[in-house]
Amino acid sequence: MTPAAVRAALARFDRVHVGHLPTPIDALPRLGAEHGVDLSVKRDDCTGFAFGGNKVRQLEFYIGAAVAAGADTVLLTSAIQSNFMRTTAAMAARFGMTTQLQLEERVPDVDELYRANGNVLLDRLIGATFSSFPEGEDEAGADAAVNTRAAELKAAGAKPYVIPLAAGHPPTGALGYVDAAAELVDQMDATRSRFDAIVVASGSALTHSGLLVGLRALGCDIPVLGVAVRRDAASQAMRVARRAADLEDLLGWPRRVTADDVRLYDGTLAPGYGRLNGPARRAIQDAARLEGLFLDPVYTGKAMAGLFEAAGKGAISGRLLFWHTGGQPALFAYGDKLFEAKDA
């Protein structure tokens, strides 16, 4: 399949176009030399809308569906410092919709800075309204609470659109990363270059699975290593495989993604989602100090740290492409934790 054929397949789905695409690929020679790797970065932190990030590509399809349905309110559940919620609120506002955000308690022992700054501050500026959900690892329960609120809004005459969290729903957002795979193949063809491995943070699995499905449909066999940022490698591998299969079904494509394609590394996950550790802190500091590149504490800091560790163990080698998924606003919610001298 060609990039043009992939884009033709995606054209069947409702979509809005707000991202600044294609995003550039930059070399990171000083950071790479510091850690003994040949390193470049795909700058999806530069997707251009509402501080950018990977969620812009995903939300072009979710908000496209909401607009097509005539929605006036978008509802979403996620972590307090969610990049997804910030970008959802901004994109919904851009198309004349309000947003209701359900904040999950995923990260323990957080302070007032975490609850008020970073993405939360931006959500408030946009005008989103908030509710709370006490659990951080109950996706079905969180979705049920949002759907209950949506039913109340509908009964009152509103037209709500729910973006689901749990994996039992069509992976609409992953379509954005099928498109991103075609973009990458075009960029490699234009420069007559190739990467030997791609490394990306793997959480909801929409970005990870979308890249896999898109690359394999295009006949590109570059390995994609997902660095687990929310659950252990075995659990995340099952989620990625399921999301990839769901996505191929959504597109009506044959199953091309195999078990061997689903590669995860969880060595930089501890102590858990949204909690900094030493390797992630060093990756954040090194990227800023050596390249002027800002990583975030939840996703890209841990993913870059995972890239360095995986390369050091021989799990990946050659020309490496780090897929920067954005998330920098969260830095301002972790300002008191970025320079601690000693930790795991």
Active-site positions read 82
- N residues, the chain: 344
Chain position carrying tokens 């080698």: 317
The H-assigned helical ranges of the chain are 3-10, 29-35, 54-68, 83-94, 112-116, 119-126, 139-155, 175-191, 206-217, 233-251, 278-291, 300-312
Return d(Cα 312, Cα 36) in angstroms, integer.
8
Maximum CA extent, the chain? 59
Spatial CA neighbour of 31 closest among 282, 200, 223: 282
CA distances from 192 to 38, 307, 319 (A): 17, 24, 14
- Local structure of 242: helix, strand or coil: helix
Under a CB-based contact definition with an 8 Å cutoff, are residues 302 and 268 in contact?
A: yes
- Please state whether 51 falls in left (phi above 0), alpha (psi between -120 and 50) or beta: left
Give the full edge-to-edge strand order of the sheet including 25-27. Answer: 25-27, 38-43, 319-324, 197-202, 224-228, 263-265
> What gap in Å lies between CA 7 and CA 276, rounded to an integer?
38
Please say whether the beta carbons of 199 and 321 come within 8 A: yes
| Amino acid occupying residue 209 | S
* Runs of H (alpha helix) within 158-197: 175-191
Q: Alpha carbon 232 to chain centroid distance? A: 17
Beta-bridge mates of residue 199: 225, 322
